[in-house]
Chain A
Amino acid sequence: MYQFDWSIFWKYIWPPTAFQDPLIRTGFIVTIVASVVAQTLGVVLGLFVALGKMSKFPPFRALGEAYVWYFRGTPLLVQMALLFFGLGVTHIYDFPDIIWGTLTVKGAIQAGILALAINEAAYMSEIIRAGIEAIDPGQMEAAKSLGMTYGLAMQRIILPQAAKVIIPPLGNEFNSMMKTTSLMEFISGTELFFAFNQINARVFKPFELFIAASLYYLALTTVWSIIQARIEAGLGERKGIERTPGTLQRLFAGANSKGVR
C-alpha cells in the first residue's frame, strides 16, 4: 500500500511554502513569461505567414503554405529539440545566456520560447487568415476607393474588424500555450514542470509532486479562462458579436480542450 506523503504534497501545493523553493518561483514566472512572449511572437509571425498565404505573389504564397505544412505537420517537441540541440551542435547559433543586470535568460528558455512561437505562428496564421477572409471584400474596396494602399487598409480597416473574429480562438490558443510550455522541460528550460521534475529527482515523490504541478497549470488556465470570458463579453457588448460561453461552461464543456502538439 502506497504511503501518500501529505507533508510534501501540502508543502508544494500551498503557494506560500512552495514559493520558498527558488525552483518553483523561477518555474512559475518562466511559465507565465514564456507563454506571453511566445504567444505574442506567434501572433506577429502568424500575421506575416497569413499575409504571405494570401499574397498575389506566388512565391510568398508557396512560402506561407510550406511554413504551415512543416510546422503543423511535425511535433513541436521535435522542432524544439532541433532548434536547441540541432542548431547548437552546428554552432549556427548556440543560444548563449542573455544577461541583463541581475536577470539571466538561459539559452534553453530562449530556444524554447522561439520554438513555441514558430510553431504557434503556423496555427495563428490559419486563425488570422480565417479572420481576414471573414471580412466583406467590400470593406477593402471602400478603403481602396478612398486612396488607401493595401497596407494601410489592412492596418486601419481590415485587421481591426478581423480582430473580433480572431480574439476568441486566440484566447484558446493562449490557454493551450500555457500548458505547452511544459515541453521546454525536455531541453532543460527552467519552467514549472522542470521545477517539479527537479524536486522529484531529489525526493522521489512523483505522485504527490505531479498532482501539485498539474494543479498549478489548472490554476493558470482557470484564471485565464475568467479573463478571457471578460474580454470576450466586453468585445461583444461594444461591437455586437454573439454572446460567448460563460466561464463555467468554458471550463467544463470541453469545447476548448486541446492536447499537446
Chain B
Amino acid sequence: MSAAPASAQAQPDASIVVKAEKVNKHFGSLHVLKDIDLEVRKNEVVVIIGPSGSGKSTFLRCINHLEKINSGHIYVNGRLIGYLERNGRLIEDSEKNIARQRAEIGMVFQRFNLFPHLTALENIIEAPVRVRKIPQAQAVAEGERLLTRVGLFDKRDKYPNQLSGGQQQRVAIARALAMKPGLMLFDEPTSALDPEMIGEVLDVMQELAHEMTMIVVSHEMGFARACANRIVFVDEGRIVEEGTPDTFFTNPHGERARQFLSQILH
C-alpha cells in the first residue's frame, strides 16, 4: 500500500496545496517577510497568529498574489503563483493567468468587502457567472444552496448594508466558496465584528474546516484549538514557532510566543 512507484518521486507531491520557499517581501525599506517557509497539506487547517504588524496578513495576501513578493517562491497546487520563472528570475505572470490562479483560491477579508450594489445572492453568483461562465440558473441554484449552508437563505435578496456584520461575513464566505476553491484564505475574518457576531462566523468556518484546506490569520484561540491542525506563530516577519495547538498553547518553546500568548490569553 505504502510503496509508491519510483517515478512518482519526481512528481510534485499532490498532497501539498501550498508551498512557500524563502519568501521575502519589502515595503520600501521595511522588511516585512523574512525567509518564510511553509507547507500546507490537503485538508489541513493552519492558523497563523502573531502580533499586529508581524507580517501574517501580508503573507496571506501573497498566497493569492494580492501582494507581490521580492524573492522566494510560493506554489499553490504545485504551480508558481503570480510569477513565471525564467533563468532563475521571477517575472510577473500575465493578468489572465493570475486571475485564473486566483479563481482557485478563496479569500475572506477582515472588512468583508461584499459588493454593496449587489444583493447577497448576486454577490455569490457574480464570479461563477462572469468568470466561470456557469449558466445563470445553475449558479443561482448553487448560490441558494450556499446561502442555506451559511444559514442566510432568507436574506438572499438583501443588500449588504441591510445585513449585520456577521451576516455579511457569512455571505462573503459563501461568495468565496461559490468558486469551488481548493484552498481558502481567511484574513482576520472576525476582527471587525461585534463580539456577539463572532460565534456565527466561527461556526461556519468550523464546519468548513472538516472538509477544506484553510489558512486562517486569526486571534480566535477557541477556533484555533478546535480546528487547527497546526499553529504557525509569526513575529517580525519570521515564522518563529510551529506546532499542534496542544503543544503550542500549553507549552510554547520560545519566549516570544510565550509572551504573546500571555498577552492575548491574559
Contacts and interface: CB of A to CB of B under 8 A. Distances in A.
A135 to B, nearest CB: 10
Contacts of B163: none
Nearest to A160: B117
A147 B100 contact: yes
Interface in A125-168: 136, 138-139, 141-150, 152, 156-157, 160-161, 164
Interface stretch (B18-26, B107-115, B216-224, B257-265): B107-115
Interface of chain A: mostly helix, strand, loop or mixed: helix
Contacts of B100: 147
Contacts of B131: 146-148, 152
B111 A149 contact: no
A160 B116 CA distance: 10
A160 B111 CA distance: 20
A136 B102 contact: no
B127 interface: yes
Interface string B122-158: 0000110011100000000000000000000000000
B135 to A, nearest CB: 17
B109 A152 contact: no
B255 interface: no
Contacts of B46: none
A202 interface: no
Contacts of B38: none
A143 B64 CA distance: 12
A189 B116 CA distance: 45
A157 B117 CA distance: 8
Given A141-B109, A240-B161, A146 B176 contact: yes
Nearest to B126: A156
Contact of A147 (B103, B109, B116): B103
B95 A148 contact: no
Contacts of A160: 117
A91 interface: no
Nearest to A135: B116
A138 B111 contact: yes
Contacts of B99: 144, 147-149
A138 B103 contact: no
Interface in B54-111: 64, 66, 95-96, 99-100, 102-107, 109, 111
Nearest to B128: A146
Contact of B115 (A139, A149, A164): A139
Give the most central of A139, A145, A147, A148: most B CB within 10 Å: A145
13 contacts: A138-B109, A141-B66, A141-B109, A141-B113, A143-B115, A144-B99, A146-B102, A147-B99, A147-B179, A160-B117, A161-B116, A164-B117, A239-B117
Interface of A: 136, 138-139, 141-150, 152, 156-157, 160-161, 164, 239-240
Interface of B: 64, 66, 95-96, 99-100, 102-107, 109, 111, 113-117, 126-127, 130-132, 161, 172, 175-176, 179
Given A145-B106, A147-B102, A152-B131, 13 more contacts: A138-B109, A138-B111, A142-B107, A145-B109, A146-B127, A146-B176, A146-B179, A149-B95, A149-B99, A157-B126, A161-B115, A239-B116, A240-B161
